[in-house]
Amino acid sequence: MTQLLDGIRKNRFVVFGRAGMDMFADPPGTKAEVAETFRSGLGGSSANICAGLCKLGGASALVTSVSNDCVGRFCINQLRGYGVETRYLRVLDGEHRISLAVYESTMEDFQLCIYRNNAVDFQVTTEDVDRVDYAAFGALITAGTVFAAEPSRSSTFRAFENARKAGIPVIFDIDYRPYSWPSPEIAAEVLSRAGAESDLIVGNDEEFGFMAGDIGKGLDKARELAERPGRIVIYKMGQDGAITFTEGREIRTGIYPVTAVKPNGAGDSFMAGLLAGLAEGRGLRAAVQRGSACAAIVVSNPGCAPAMPTTAELEEFLRNHPGPTRAD
């Protein structure tokens, strides 16, 4: 675990995965199908993680492809506005398009519509990942969406190899999205391989259950993955908190209850808060709790990347919140 934590403490991350535009109905509480006004913001799981890390004082670079159109340029400008390094973005002509997510800020019959036909982020090649200066970063992060199609699947496994050669750890957010995959069987096989090659794995109970081939066996799968020395596995359980497995220990943590306006963005913010906490030298329990606090902040505000907290906002939330639920 020393190598993993030493890498994270450098607080410089190279992140693989998608960026996209979010459009969310305004004002909060408005259903998308009757909305007259939408707000825009940066979205996409990996882009959100990048923005969250930068807002918490870290450095991040995104490796992806974007479309050569106004939406692609919007995402590039948004990334730069958050301080994300964009030198590894490749702009593609043609019919491939960057992701667009349309949703609403209401928990009542929440609707999220994602347009990912001919998704441009799947076009990341081995040449793209070989351009990265891995030694300049402390750790590699990827979300599971990159593995859903070629060439980005093979390219990201190539990036894992490059990271190992450079001596930096691999952090894997399972982030299983069924609509992106050709079949559940392929997804289970590929995501399990990615987990086996990673040093820190974060997922929810359903995602670990999916990897295990049985929703009831997700906890066993997380424990099994954590048996490798030096690895950290975080098993998220929604309202029931999380269990962190490492070096034979099980650390149970609660959540920070809030009035949520939407469910999406929580996992991305959790990852950013977790890594920022570890980068500051905090213990695992404290870092996981800070990740949970970041998730609570994001679900209680409209948008994803725009809702990610700064360090000052996180500290203010922690000062004013009565505290996390008890971890049973």
Residue 170 lies in a domain: yes
In this structure, what CATH number is given to the domain that contains residue 134?
3.40.1190.20
In 147-248, which ranges are E strands? 170-173, 200-204, 232-236, 242-246
Amino acid identity, position 288: V
Count of domains for the chain:
1
Structure tokens at 267: 């996992």
Tell me if 163 sits within 8 A of 136, measured CB to CB.
no
User: What's the length of the chain?
Assistant: 328
Whether residue 327 is contained in a domain is answered as no
* Residue 219 within any structural domain of the chain: yes
Round to whole Å and give the CA distance between 311 and 52.
10
Q: Is residue 128 in some structural domain? A: yes
Averaged pLDDT, groups of 10, the chain, 328 residues long? 93 98 97 97 98 98 98 98 98 96 95 95 98 98 97 98 98 93 92 96 94 90 96 96 96 97 96 98 97 98 97 98 87
Sign, CA torsion 99/104/105/111: negative
Q: Report yes or no: 205 and 235 within 8 Å, Cβ to Cβ.
A: yes
Calculate Rg over the CA atoms of the chain. 18
For residue 328, is it within any domain? no
Q: What confidence score (pLDDT) does residue 328 get?
A: 66
Contact 233, 201 (CB under 8 A): yes
- The Cα–Cα gap between 19 and 23 comes to 13
- pTM above 0.85? yes
Q: What is the pLDDT of residue 61?
A: 98
**Domain containing residue 81:** 2-320
Helix (H) or strand (E) holding 37: strand 37-43
* Within a domain: 326: no
**What's the confidence (pLDDT) of residue 327?**
78
